[in-house]
Structure 1
């Protein structure tokens, strides 16, 4: 297999700088959208439809879907739920279609889907499954960190580093952002919870009293499913 590129885009605000035509884009929003998406697909959701706005989410009301909307870490008033992983249990989502809009994660999906070869969803929950899949593909890799409102954040970059760490011994060419992400992961890997406790988004979620969400999102390899975007729907690969 020929050499492939692995790049880390530290925020969706930079996505226009990357050529995605030959890239598998891994969208990352650890706290909490992509963790919840991975958990929901693992638990039998038929599909999760990511949309950009609350209004667009409301437009699906007559379809009989579950509607999920989050802004600034809180469930938007009038919706079934937001993006807590505990809302995506088997009992709640099996055989259901969910329409989801979030502050950062769905924004990152929408920003990359115009030109990417493929979009998949990554989290610590399905880390090994993601890495094994990427190794098997003859495509470049772009790890897209959702960040916080188009700004850099630590937790997404640390996860990107975890992926780079597994792939760097394969036939990949790393960019500087990938090297930096890997270095951050090396600092954090022995105690992800302690390292990410100092992140700004962790502090936001703690103020909302949802520390358990943070702990859950740092579980490694408890799912094997890979959500993939097909015709604007995230489904199980």
Structure 2
């Protein structure tokens, strides 16, 4: 079990955490971490996260797929955006994708700058992720991407689900972990119903992508755990 599990409720607070020797799990449930998980699970060779839309263009002549999303919508001129339904096996298997999103890829960049290891978490790979985290003996930080550096419910609920799955005596938890777990226990029997009150649900409803939301709240339909190696997210190889 990890020595310590903490939850960072927004990237704006990450500098308050010592993560140089930690595994950081980046969480952006709606929808970057969910889409990344699906893409890697469906055989994408790698996903390269970049912070800015303009950075994608640097890869335009290298045969990569380019994915860009801002405020929930596909950026004009790019192959696709941030919907998990875009990351089909037929489209992504064997391909490298360059991805930028409103929140998730920025959180990834912050984690990558300092963390010992960076993973991607989603409800879609909740159990495989928890199984791996349970095997660790260092510290774990669950980093919620939030919305433009603000707290959001969906990422916090997932962090709470991880804490709930791993909760053991002898591991240190911070107050944010306890709060996240409490929220998850309130919401777990109807995640979608609980999240209908969230601000992001209202934003996404205006884009008519309810199917994406429902998909992203499914649990344990993917086996892959994306891990950052250099600039690329690839499938974590777990040694039994």
Q: Can you give the 5+ residue segments of structure 2 that lack an aligned partner in the other structure?
A: none
Distance in structure 2 (CA, Å) of the matches to 1:78 and 1:170? 51
3-state SS of 2:4 partner: strand
Please report how far the alpha carbon of residue 199 of structure 1 lies from its aligned counterpart in structure 2 after TM superposition.
Answer: 1.1
Equivalent pairs counted in the alignment come to: 236
1:102 correspondence with 2:131: no
Alignment TM-score, normalising by the size of structure 2: 0.97
Match of 1:58 in 2: 57
Please report how far the alpha carbon of residue 110 of structure 1 lies from its aligned counterpart in structure 2 after TM superposition.
Answer: 0.4
Match of 2:135 in 1: 136
1:39 correspondence with 2:34: no
Match of 2:179 in 1: 180
Q: Can you give the 5+ residue segments of structure 1 that lack an aligned partner in the other structure?
A: none
CA RMSD of aligned residues (A): 0.9
Please report how far the alpha carbon of residue 226 of structure 1 lies from its aligned counterpart in structure 2 after TM superposition.
Answer: 0.3
1:230 correspondence with 2:232: no
Match of 2:201 in 1: 202
What is the CA deviation profile of residues 127-157 of structure 1, one whole-angstrom value per residue up to 9, with x for unaligned ones? 0011100010111010000000000000000
Please report how far the alpha carbon of residue 232 of structure 1 lies from its aligned counterpart in structure 2 after TM superposition.
Answer: 1.0
Please report how far the alpha carbon of residue 91 of structure 1 lies from its aligned counterpart in structure 2 after TM superposition.
Answer: 1.0
Moved over 2 A (4+): none
Match of 1:68 in 2: 67
What is the CA deviation profile of residues 97-120 of structure 1, one whole-angstrom value per residue up to 9, with x for unaligned ones? 000000000000001111101000
Match of 1:156 in 2: 155
